[in-house]
Amino acid sequence: MMHPYKVFLFFLFATAITALFGVGVALPTGDLAMSMLSLGVTSVVTALCALAGGMGVTISTRATFSLMQTGRLIQWPAFMLSAWAGLSISSFILGAALTVTSGFLASAVIFGLAFGWGYFRKEIPWKGRTWLPAKMPKR
């Protein structure tokens, strides 16, 4: 049960780093409290959306098509697009306090940082995973 929690933290910190560096996302300037609030809300909402959407697509695809693995070609876009949805929701919640200038770029960087950190820490497995979906063996 620790795996989803750790992946959530990966996405939380990846979103915070991406927003602080202004990659595809612009935080408000001038008011430090509002900037930190916007950063916190954006990080939490994006991490929750990325985790829920990415895992939801992965789990439902595996169950629907009797797959042993969904493959990176399904899993990676699911997490990236879910992060993009999280950024859009954050922008809607915060209004003018958050500007998403390039959702695609921001979500790609967030995904890259989160999964890169996960692979580096061996929390997200690399070995034994395939690019394409793998069917469940017949019994």
What is the average pLDDT value for the chain, to the nearest integer? Answer: 92
Average pLDDT on 120-139 reads: 85
5 exposure class (CB count in 10 Å sphere: 0-12, 13-18, 19+): exposed
Q: Residue 99: pLDDT above 70?
A: yes
Domain ranges of the chain: 2-132
Report the alpha-carbon distance of residue 17 to residue 83 in Å, rounded.
14
Extract the tokens encoding 82: 């879910």
Residue 120 CB partners (closer than 8 Å, separation 6+):
none
Please give the pLDDT value at position 84.
96
CB atoms within 10 A of CB 35: 17
- Reported confidence tier of residue 126, pLDDT bands at 50, 70, 90: confident
Please give the pLDDT value at position 12.
97
Report the alpha-carbon distance of residue 34 to residue 65 in Å, rounded.
45
Report the alpha-carbon distance of residue 83 to residue 102 in Å, rounded.
12
Q: Residue 1: pLDDT above 70?
A: no
Cβ contact 44:12 at 8 Å: yes
- 138 CB-side CA count, 13 A: 0
pTM attached to this predicted model: 0.91
In the chain, pLDDT over 90 holds for what percent of residues? 69
